[in-house]
């Protein structure tokens, strides 16, 4: 589909000096923000996105990819040094990383986190580069009926996998779709639900909605929770035995299967919309512990625990982009944020990207591989610096993040209206999170809403208004049946089975307790 | 459990409000074509009512509402709204130092060095980045 000269041109663009500088800047910013306690790659990207609209598309997206990759590793630093993972992704890293640091090997723990993060990330990027173009070819064979069914299927999977209540997840989907309806109706071109605000003719600005719900809501929550206690950090001694401040080749090699397993788990889970890096990190950690000859050493500073979690949570990032680039469906917060960056530059993610913007896509792939290398080099060079900044006060970190969000959205949407939308959605996002309604599902549904309406409209024309005519479209029919099955299975049958299993094991434990007594 | 049921009841009310009041008043009614401007909004409103009833009757999922935290969050939201209003009227450089200073003091920051960083250095750096460097305006 994409010709070789286009691929080579794209890779050439990625290797230009300007692009390299933006990748380096992105990785450094990502590692810096990730290392601040309480922040992570999502916050880093949310703050950075509006400022990239002055750049050309490739440097802008390369910068954001660098921020994300740097942030993923940066999040491991507070997890290891102060046992305070900034994001749930890094929570599993703290299980063995912090005990290892307490044993006097903080640098070794951080370096292992860095190496395994880069290894997992590179593996996942290679899978992305290999798979996304063929998948996009398949996606391009689909007509509106199949695309509509595919979106319904994606919603059912995401709703079933994110959160602990399918009803709440479906409410989040419907709410996201409703807000996507604001603006011009695609079929008749009539304005709707704009309440007299002409700024809403083009719909709600995605950047303002995404930043409000994902970053500002979290900033408010963090500000409200700031305590007066100062987190105790593990000092890095100036003089350490060389073997305690480096990861030897033998140690790295001994973790090869652990990292490979983590990378495979992260890549597979990352490619499925809705499953995040937290699940991948914990699953990889659990399977490594299970496969180990010394499972009792886990949780007490086993370096394999750090390798397992970091390789898995970083591998999710590249794989997350597979559904986004191949079929235009974002599967995670990061992908949803990247979409707003694409949209700022007037680019519509999806299978047509390979045909229309092949050079940009291969430039992005090249930038991703470069970002992995830069992540390794900058991480190696700056570990001690990042270890110092974790003592920066949360009061300043979150105030600065709030002002940056306001400034960024003001600059990218061109006025205070966008900032007001951001604030309104921050309040909505905060309340949804507190009441257990997923904002990630909301954002994904919000992004896909217009596409869904358009494909439904085309589907009805093709079917001539007769829903039974869907039997003439076997792929769409199969996808719709699978959606029904996944809602029933993921939403009702699997949780019921899990509850029964838990109840049975509780009863068994109670019976054992009674017989012991 | 009660809050879960209440959240379900809220979505039932929201769905009804949208279906009977908001959508008819703010959507141009078109009566031709398979898909009309009001079709998906109406479908969303109906689904909100149905799912809201399900949530109210069979509540599922966790709720983590903490009243003191909610109160503190409301305070920060109120401060931010006031700051945005003030920014639109008095300008970025006049308001942001005060805004950041108030937030930092409320969360308990008393170290002069960090306060100076937030109140003076942060707004100046952001202004210098956005206005002269990126050549964009700020309020």
- Residues β-bridged to residue A154: none
CA distance A432 to A437: 5
- Long-range interactions of A20-23: CB distance < 8 A, separation 24+: A20/A370, A22/A55, A22/A59, A22/A60, A22/A62, A22/A63, A22/A66, A23/A62, A23/A63, A23/A65, A23/A66, A23/A367, A23/A370, A23/A371, A23/A374
CA distance A23 to A9: 18
Interface of A with B in 349-388 (CB under 8 A): none
Read off φ and ψ for residue A191, nearest 5 degrees: -75, 145
Over its C-alpha atoms, chain B yields an Rg (Å, rounded) of 23
Min Cα distance B19 → chain A (Å) is 12
What was the pLDDT predicted at A55? 85
* Residue B30 near residue A192, CB atoms below 8 Å: no
Quick check: B84 and A51 CB within 8 A?
no
User: Between A395, A420, A434, which is nearest B109 by CB?
Assistant: A395
Residues of B with CB below 8 A from A164's CB?
60-62
**Average pLDDT of the segment spanning B37-42:** 93
Q: Which residue has the tokens 């208004």?
A: A465
Query: What chain B residue is nearest to A465 in terms of C-alpha separation?
Result: B34
Q: In this complex, is the C-beta atom of A163 within 8 Å of any C-beta atom belonging to chain B?
A: yes
Tens digits of residue pLDDT in A123-136: 999 999 998 888 88
User: Between B55, B81, B129, which is nearest A171 by CB?
Assistant: B55
pLDDT more than 70, % of chain B: 100
* Average pLDDT over chain A, rounded to an integer: 86
Beta-carbon contacts of A131 under 8 Å, excluding residues fewer than 6 positions away, are A322, A326
Min Cα distance B119 → chain A (Å) is 9
CA distance A47 to A32: 13
Q: Which of A95-109, A239-253, A464-478 has the lowest mean pLDDT?
A: A239-253
Interface test with B, best of A47, A56, A171, A425 (most B CBs within 10 A): A171
What was the pLDDT predicted at A76? 87
Asked whether residue A187 carries a pLDDT value surpassing 90, the answer given is no
Please give the structure tokens belonging to residue A251: 């140690």
What was the pLDDT predicted at A516? 47
Tens digits of residue pLDDT in A282-313: 889 988 988 888 888 888 889 999 999 999 98
**Average pLDDT of the segment spanning A161-165:** 77
The pTM for the full model equals: 0.85
Quick check: A411 and B96 CB within 8 A?
no
- The more confidently predicted of residues A39 and A203 is A203
Q: In this complex, is the C-beta atom of A268 within 8 Å of any C-beta atom belonging to chain B?
A: no
Q: Which helix (H) or strand (E) holds A183?
A: strand A183-184
CA distance A415 to A204: 13
What was the pLDDT predicted at A161? 76
Query: What chain B residue is nearest to A194 in terms of C-alpha separation?
Result: B26
**ipTM of the modeled complex:** 0.96
């Amino acid at each position: 589909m994409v010709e070789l000269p286009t691929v080579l041109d794209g890779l050439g663009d990625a290797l230009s000096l300007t692009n390299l500088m933006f990748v380096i800047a992105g990785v450094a910013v990502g590692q810096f923000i990730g290392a601040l306690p309480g922040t992570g790659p999502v916050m880093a990207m949310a703050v950075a996105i509006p400022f990239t609209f002055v750049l050309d598309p490739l440097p802008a997206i390369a910068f954001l990819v660098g921020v994300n990759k740097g942030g993923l590793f940066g999040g491991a630093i507070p997890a290891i040094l102060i046992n305070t993972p900034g994001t749930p992704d890094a929570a599993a890293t703290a299980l063995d990383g912090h005990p290892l640091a307490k044993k006097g090997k903080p640098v070794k723990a951080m370096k292992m986190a860095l190496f395994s993060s880069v290894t997992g990330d590179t593996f996942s990027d290679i899978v992305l580069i290999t798979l996304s173009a063929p998948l996009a070819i398949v996606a391009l064979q689909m007509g509106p009926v199949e695309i509509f069914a595919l979106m319904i299927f994606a919603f059912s999977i995401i709703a079933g996998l994110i959160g602990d209540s399918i009803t709440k997840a479906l409410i989040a989907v419907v709410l996201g779709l409703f807000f996507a309806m604001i603006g011009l109706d695609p079929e008749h071109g009539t304005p709707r639900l704009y309440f007299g605000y002409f700024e809403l003719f083009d719909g709600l600005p995605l950047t303002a909605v995404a930043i409000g719900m994902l970053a500002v809501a979290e900033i408010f929550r963090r500000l409200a929770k700031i305590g007066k206690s100062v987190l105790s950090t593990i000092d890095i001694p100036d003089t350490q035995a060389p073997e305690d401040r480096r990861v030897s080749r033998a140690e790295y090699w001994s973790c090869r299967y652990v990292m490979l397993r983590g990378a495979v788990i992260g890549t597979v889970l990352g490619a499925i919309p809705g499953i995040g890096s937290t699940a991948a990190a914990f699953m990889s950690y659990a399977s490594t512990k299970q496969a180990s000859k010394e499972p009792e050493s886990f949780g007490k500073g086993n370096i394999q625990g750090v390798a397992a979690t970091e390789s898995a949570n970083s591998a999710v990032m590249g794989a997350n982009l597979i559904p986004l680039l191949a079929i235009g469906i974002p599967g995670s917060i990061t992908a949803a944020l990247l979409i707003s960056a694409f949209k700022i530059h007037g680019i519509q993610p999806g299978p047509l990207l390979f045909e229309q913007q092949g050079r940009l896509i291969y430039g992005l792939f090249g930038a991703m591989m470069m970002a992995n290398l830069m992540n390794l080099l900058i991480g190696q060079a700056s570990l001690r610096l990042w270890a110092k900044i974790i003592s920066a006060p949360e009061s300043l970190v979150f105030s600065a993040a709030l002002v940056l969000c306001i400034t960024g959205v003001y600059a990218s949407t061109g006025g205070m209206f966008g900032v007001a939308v951001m604030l309104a959605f921050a309040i909505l996002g905060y309340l949804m999170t507190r009441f257990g309604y997923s904002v990630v599902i909301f954002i994904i549904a919000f992004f896909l809403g217009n596409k869904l309406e358009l494909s439904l409209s085309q589907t009805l024309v093709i079917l001539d208004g007769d829903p039974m005519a869907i039997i003439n479209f076997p792929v769409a029919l199969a996808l719709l049946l699978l959606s029904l099955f996944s809602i029933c299975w993921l939403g009702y049958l699997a949780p019921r089975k899990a509850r029964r299993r838990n109840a049975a094991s509780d009863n068994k434990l109670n019976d054992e307790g009674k017989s012991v007594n | 459990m009660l809050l879960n049921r209440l959240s379900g009841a809220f979505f039932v009310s929201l769905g009804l409000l949208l279906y009977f009041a908001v959508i008819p008043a703010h959507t141009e009614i078109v009566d031709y074509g398979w898909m009309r401007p009001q079709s998906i909004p109406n479908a969303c409103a109906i689904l909100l009512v149905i799912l809201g009833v399900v949530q109210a009757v069979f509540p599922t999922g966790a709720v983590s509402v903490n009243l003191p935290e909610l109160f503190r969050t409301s305070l920060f939201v109120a401060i931010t709204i006031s700051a945005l209003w003030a920014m639109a009227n008095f300008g970025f450089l006049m308001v942001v130092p005060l805004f950041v200073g108030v937030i930092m003091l409320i969360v308990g920051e008393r170290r002069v060095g960090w306060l100076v960083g937030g109140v003076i250095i942060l707004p100046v750096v952001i202004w210098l980045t956005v206005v002269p460097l990126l050549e964009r305006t700020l309020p």
